[in-house]
Structure 1
Amino acid sequence: MQDESQESSNEKNLNIPDYTTKSILLKLVKFEKSQKFLKKDISLSSLANDFDTNTRYLSAIIKQHKKKSYSNYINGLRIAYIKTKLAENPIYREYKISYLAEECGFSSREVFAVTFKKETGITPSCFISSLSSHLMQDNFFQD
């Protein structure tokens, strides 16, 4: 197993052709729009396979252009997705945290909650409460 510094120096030594980088970045845009990141079984190797590239190139390009590791990139997409759902669709605020975790591709409620807090700075419950209280305040001021 490589340590982080060895891994990042290996990625710096990769000489990825520009056309490959551009192709992978375009595929990442399509991937984000398709919401395939919601699938629980999405892995670096399956995504690299879908993109017709190798895992080292894909990992290096995500790290360089998205400024995140592969797993942090996927988790960030998932958390952004569920935050949007919660903000735009009040019924989502009624669902259990375990359902929300499943909805955005996490295999466990615990990993979802830890990741949500890492990404947003607050727990899913606090986020939902803040949305609900903003909604009540907005309704209060409109009356």
Structure 2
Amino acid sequence: HVAALGALLKSKYLSLSPHGIYDAIMSSAEDLGTAGWDAYYGAGLINPAAALNIVPSLTKVQDTTNGTVNPRTDTYDDFTLNASLGSLRRNLNSANTTADLDLYLLDANGNVLAESIGDSSTESITFFTGSVSGTYKVRVKVVSNN
């Protein structure tokens, strides 16, 4: 059923990307069980009519945040951002290519929603914000600065 809905979305919105199809399906699903995504129901029950109607309201906002984390005095730094419907994607690229940095996405209460932990200066996270806009924090953590 999900694949058929994806094909239907693509046929109506020819320029819709795979991420856009995903966002439309996830943003319009009827939540079942525990609020939000859960292991039993996933994102819930797909709603084809709602998915077809939600596409015009999905916005793709691209922005860049520049900041400095001083490895001598800071263990991490937080950047606040507001997200709309759909997926939130953040990439971290450090000018210091030998640094080991980790990237976290936190909700308004400080709970970790997504993380990218590696041994490099480049990290990337993608998180589905659901059908509710909100405020999030992106945390850049200094693991080592070789």
TM-score tier by shorter-chain length is under 0.3
Greater RCO (CA < 8 Å, at least 6 residues apart)? 2
Structure with more of its chain in helix, by fraction = 1
TM-score, normalisation: structure 2: 0.25
Structure with more of its chain in strand, by fraction = 2
